[in-house]
Structure 1
Amino acid sequence: MSFYNDDYSKRRPGTFFIVVIALISAIIGGLIAVGIVVPNIQAKNSSNQVVLGQGSTTPPVNVTNPTGFPVAEVSKAVGPAVVGIANFQQTGGYFGKSGLSEVGSGSGFIIDAKNGYIVTNNHVIEGAKKLVVSLADSRNTEASLVGADPRTDLAVIKISNTDNLTAVQFGDSEALQVGEPVVAIGNPGGQEFARSVTAGVVSAKNRVLEIQGESSFNLIQTDAAINPGNSGGPLVNYHGQVVGINSAKNTEAGFEGMGFAIPITDAVPFIQQIIAKGYASHPGLYVSIDSRYTEEGAAQQGWPAGAYVAKVALGGPADKAGIKAGDVITKIDDTTIKNALDLTRGLIKYKPGDSVKITYYRDGQTKEAAVTLAELKQ
């Protein structure tokens, strides 16, 4: 299958070799890094947690609405919180002069009306020298980058003019059911088609894409039309609550109605970290994994399925625990690992400083090691 970003650029599933573990999903051939993310938390107030949704928010939607058109009610309620985002970058100009030009656009949605925070995809704002946000009331205003996280494809930007802003309400993406109706709102094709509304259902849950950022999550699949420019926009349930962040679609010939969204419940912890610290931290084993090690190939050698350790960073968590290059990681605590992607996803529920039990295969024997996970920032 072929998966594209839903902004101006094509998804960039890449293959590269690094020492630290990162939440990165381009594992097609070669060596990749493996990472972990913090556990899911809701946007609730606590002494050490950012509070989202301050200021005015979108009204709840009455499912038994008077018009008889639920999608119309959802659009009316949530539309004011959806924005367009234009990405301006340095380009060559006439007569040898250079300047800023709009190279692409995407979508976003306001999560904090009081402070002007807006959530979008990292691939929408990546490389920008200037960001311009278009609001539902036709205002255009420059935005500053609060922080971005390529490992989860999430970014937060901020606008200073917070007059008459409306923030979205969050729903519980874990409670979504297959077949449940949803609405996608965004700017396909840019400002000309701003706040376009498409409707569909949750086609499936727990989908996995091997593309950077999105592989960090069990994605929501939907048949609501998602087009270039929809990236970063909200996927909304019939209660007017955001349940996902539209991020990718399948563009392979012969396939239609296969869009994918990051579950909002999984995204919230990273959004809060980005606002609080300017980045999202990730725990790491500090090893590199060879994704060419497959379950089928291992079976032919009489080896178990798992994640083949190609390199261990000196002094890193895995090295301190005695794990070596050539080992095959088969379990994290009680979670079975069959390949490199399983290792990335198996560690997703942990946070830096957590201790995990790593089961691995070496020289015909199964061994165990306790590993204390370290923090990765970028």
Structure 2
Amino acid sequence: MRRNLKAYISGIVISSLLSSSIVGSVIYSKFSSELQKQSQIIQNLSNNKNYSSINTIAANTISTGGTLTIPKIVKKVAPSIVGIRMNITIPNRINQVMSQSKAEGSGIIYDKNGYIMTNYHVVEYADPKNSYSKYTTLEVFLPDGRQTKAKFIGGDRKNDLAVIKIELDNLPVAELGDSSTLEVGETAVAIGNPLGMEFAGSVTSGIISAINRKVQVDDRTLNLIQTDAAINPGNSGGALVNSQGQVIGINTVKISSTGLEGLGFAIPINDAKPIVDQLMMFGYVKGRPFIGISGREITETISQIYNIPQGIYIMAVTSGSGAYKAGIRQGDIILKIAGVEVKTLSDIENIKSKYKAGDTVDVLLYRNGKQMTVKMTFSEER
């Protein structure tokens, strides 16, 4: 019975990629000659190469003062919006190319030393924590025609943010705004690469449709800005800009369905700043609790069929993690954490949000027909 259950659950594979479209072969075309002629924005930034604070960067950028026309917004911001290509090449046993795929998105240069912020899902296969990272390379394409390889610095799947770095001089840096001052109805301009590099540097405009929208993305709930400025695959990681030419959001996802239009979403820049700052300095967000399990939800239907309790079925346990040290193992079903019932992966995330790395909680398990309680200390997510 357990073997059949495991086979059933293992067969449930849910894969989603919010990012840029994946293409078999895309030829990079340069941005328009108009953008190539645009003057770069000169920034007065900290000379500390490795640990400059994003808040300092925002404070030192050039202030524009008043409202700009959309063409002036584009001239100011577009030079700092780059294209990002993630190339995955998996060789076969005799070292010949077995399969190739590419994913393309956007990014924002926010530091003169070459640091670029983007969405995690745009570059996730380059993350050393991903088993495909050794097969993955990153390329960055600038509006002035330059292109270069990039290094993965850090990523945070929970907030869908990442930082990569390029080694080039004379980089135009975006000015960061204050998303806490946004009002519904004000101008919003989206700049990025919808559908890949062929349409690099595309500009769409609209308004801020709503703020503080809670949007469910896979097993996470993100706090996002809603806009009717067109956002499409490939825009991920690009800039949502206000009427002063300041980046106030990172374009992340759209909701698309027959009959629906104008539902694009961006991560508020004030939410992104502290995360990106830590990714730049440490490569991860410090102090975040980590359990170290991969699991599937036992629904009410599965519970009745197999005569087991609802909870989270453990598919795998990360070596050295809090779960591993607590003795939690593959095949267990988590019923409660810290006295709170667990029936969905979202339940686990909600519980984790109340604790920090180093905290210890009781975990109620179901194993081989019996319930048991273990003490688990959250490790640090890296």
Counterpart in the other structure of 1:112 = 111
Measured at CA, do residues 203 and 161 of structure 1 come closer, stay the same or move farther in structure 2, by a change above 3 Å?
same
Deviation at 1:134, TM superposition (A): 2.3
1:194 matched to which residue of 2? 200
More helix by percentage: 2
- What secondary structure sits across from 1:267 in the alignment? helix
- The aligned counterpart of 2:189 is 183
Structure with bigger RCO (C-alpha 8 Å, 6+ apart): 1
- Report matched runs for 1:14-93 at 5 Å: 50-52=52-54, 54=57, 59-63=62-66, 65=67, 69=69, 71-90=70-89
Q: CA deviation at 1:179?
A: 4.5
The DSSP-based 3-state class of the residue aligned with 1:224 is: coil
Over 3 Å counting, the alpha-carbon distance change for 1:339 and 1:62 in structure 2 is same
- SS of the counterpart of 1:166? coil
Determine whether 1:238 maps to 2:243: yes
Alignment partner of 1:121 is 2:128: no
* Contact kept in structure 2, 1:110 and 1:168, CA below 8 Å: no
In the TM superposition, what whole-angstrom CA distance separates every residue of 1:221-256 from its partner, at most 9, and x where no partner exists?
332211121011122233433332212222333222
1:259 maps to: 264
Over 3 Å counting, the alpha-carbon distance change for 1:350 and 1:142 in structure 2 is farther
C-alpha contact 1:141 1:159 (8 A) present in aligned 2: no
Is the alpha carbon distance of 1:368 and 1:180 closer, same or farther for their aligned partners in structure 2, counting shifts above 3 Å? Answer: farther
Q: What whole-Å deviation, never above 9, does each CA across 1:324-375 have from its counterpart, x for those lacking one?
A: 955533778xx9977321321442465423x26669799xxxx999864212
Q: TM-score under structure 1 normalisation?
A: 0.65
**1:211 lines up with 2:218 in the alignment:** yes
Q: Any conservation in 1 of the 2:22–2:101 contact (CA below 8 Å)?
A: no
Equivalent AA in structure 2 for residue 149 of structure 1? G
For residue 357 of structure 2, what is the aligned residue in structure 1? 352
After superposition, the CA RMSD in angstroms is 4.7
Give the letter aligned to residue 119 of structure 2. Answer: N
Assess if the C-alpha contact under 8 Å between 1:86 and 1:102 holds in 2: no
Residue 329 to residue 131, structure 1, CA distance change in 2 (3 Å): same
Distance (Å, rounded) in 2 between the aligned partners of 1:107 and 1:90: 21
Is there any run of 5+ residues in structure 2 with no aligned partner, and where?
1-14, 24-45, 127-134, 304-308, 367-371
Q: Choose 1 or 2 for highest CA Rg.
A: 2
- From 106, 128, 152, the equivalent of 1:146 is 152
Partner of 1:25: none
Partner of 2:138: 131
Letter in 2 for 1:260: F
Instruction: Give me the identity figure in percent.
Output: 35
Tell me the distance in 2 between the aligned counterparts of 1:150 and 1:350.
18
1-structure distance, mates of 2:352, 2:105: 30
1:7 corresponds to 2:14: no
Residue 343, structure 1, aligned to residue 348, structure 2: yes
Given that 1:132 and 1:140 are in contact with CA atoms closer than 8 Å, whether structure 2 keeps it comes out as: no
Aligned mates of 2:146, 2:173 — CA distance in 1: 15
TM-score by length of 2: 0.64
Cα 1:374–1:254, aligned 2, differ >3 Å: closer, same or farther?
A: same
Distance in 2 between residues matched to 1:109 and 1:270, nearest whole Å: 15
Q: Tell me: CA distance 1:161–1:322, structure 2 relative to 1, closer, same or farther (3 Å).
A: closer
- State the alpha-carbon separation in 2 of the partners of residues 322 and 6 from structure 1: 37
Q: Which residue identity is paired with 1:111?
A: Y
C-alpha spacing 1:203/1:108, structure 2 compared with 1 (3 Å): same
Unpaired runs of 5+ residues, structure 1, are 11-43, 299-303
Taking the aligned partners of 2:373 and 2:183, their CA distance within structure 1 comes to 38
Q: Assess, with a 3 A threshold, how the Cα gap between structure 1 residues 217 and 90 changes in structure 2: closer, same or farther.
A: same
Q: Does residue 221 of the first structure (1) align with residue 232 of the second (2)?
A: no
